[in-house]
Chains A and B, each alone.
Chain A
């Protein structure tokens, strides 16, 4: 079982805003990373360090953290944003990376 908890699926109308959350005790003290994975492709990082967007990632992607919950927001979702999104961080006690179970985002 994952130590980071995500909702399995969420849907959003084209052009609307959707927020995906990731909950876990380690997020209170350690940074969250968000990765996007489209079918048949390797994941890519869309947010790191809770709020930072890598170069080349559209600014409709944003991240935040409050307490033990990290969030990824897509403002004005596009059809190409339909994908699985995974959060990751480190374990609270041990030197290992932990992933959330992933959230499938469907753009209607």
Chain B
């Protein structure tokens, strides 16, 4: 079965960096676009970024463009999110999400990693 396991969350000071990782298994990772979606406490879902199946193109929400970098290693079935210049508004649970059938149709969600930006 599909498994997506995030790691790397934690508490970080404003302006600092953090890197999230997502270990994927149970499907052909290299065939699917992958996303990061976040959810601030008590709020709805916000799409953050996605990378195409081969990592050739990456896309970002305006709220994180220039600060976050998505990447993937298909040889290791791993997805990453490098988050720089973090602000308190980036505090959220970050979900690793795989697509299905096309790049924008959500397939499966990871359990999430909590990132808290606080001084």
Contacts and interface: CB of A to CB of B under 8 A. Distances in A.
Interface of A: 2, 30-31, 33, 35, 37, 42-45, 48-49, 84, 86, 88-90, 94-102
B107 A48 contact: yes
Contacts of B111: 42
Interface residues of B, number: 24
Contacts, number: 67
A101 B106 contact: no
Contact of B106 (A33, A37, A94): A33
Interface of B: 35, 37, 44-47, 50, 57, 59, 61, 95, 100-112
A91 B104 CA distance: 9
A96 B45 CA distance: 14
B59 A42 contact: no
Given A95-B59, A96-B59, A42 B110 contact: yes
